[in-house]
């Protein structure tokens, strides 16, 4: 753990957000910075998909919409925190790359990749938060994405109001 973090396994991106945003992490400013550095360091910053995050770390190589959304959401939440706790914030241009990737992954039915139906709320939350913090970035495309995503979620919702996942 030379970077102060455990390399998370599949589906553990939410742990980064939860621990990174915890009171303990806030009190231990260095730990908060380690989380931010870990998330930023594992962003894919070269072709073919700059702005994406993969299953567990950058070397994994496969972009995953849930990982992109959760990591992007972490970076956005960290950007609202004092730099003394989180260190350098991710550049907006890198977040815009993430938006480009998410927008490109939406299918005609409004969902994202077919093998991740349970994580729909993640990419929707990330796009809504980014729209709030950077309202002019791909404004029309983001609005269309959000409308289609909401329609998709309503479509897959069960009659009792529950959903998959």
The residues that are catalytic are 66
Strands of 7-150, DSSP E: 43-44, 52-53
Angle at 150 between CA 135 and CA 78, to 5 degrees: 45
Tokens representing 117 are 């139906």
- Residue in 117, 119, 72, 125 with CA at minimum distance from that of residue 94: 72
Q: Which residue has the tokens 């005609």?
A: 108
Mark residue 106 as left, alpha or beta (left: phi above 0; alpha: psi -120 to 50; beta: remaining): beta
What SS3 string covers 125-154?
Answer: HHHHHHHHHCCCCCHHHHHHHHHHHHHHHH
């Amino acid at each position: 753990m030379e970077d102060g973090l455990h390399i998370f396994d599949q589906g553990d991106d939410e742990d980064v957000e939860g621990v990174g945003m915890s009171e303990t992490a806030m009190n231990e400013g260095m730990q908060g910075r380690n989380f931010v550095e870990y998330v930023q360091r594992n962003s894919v910053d070269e072709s073919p998909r700059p702005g994406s995050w993969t299953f567990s770390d950058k070397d994994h190589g496969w972009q995953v919409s849930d990982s992109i959304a959760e990591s992007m959401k972490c970076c956005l939440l960290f950007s609202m925190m004092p730099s003394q706790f989180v260190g350098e914030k991710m550049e907006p241009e890198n977040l815009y790359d993430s938006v480009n990737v998410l927008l490109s992954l939406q299918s005609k039915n409004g969902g994202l990749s077919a093998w991740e139906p349970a994580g729909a709320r993640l990419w929707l939350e990330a796009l809504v938060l980014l729209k709030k913090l950077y309202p002019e970035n791909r404004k029309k495309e983001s609005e269309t994405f959000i409308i289609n995503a909401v329609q998709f979620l309503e479509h897959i919702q069960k009659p009792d109001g529950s959903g998959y996942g």
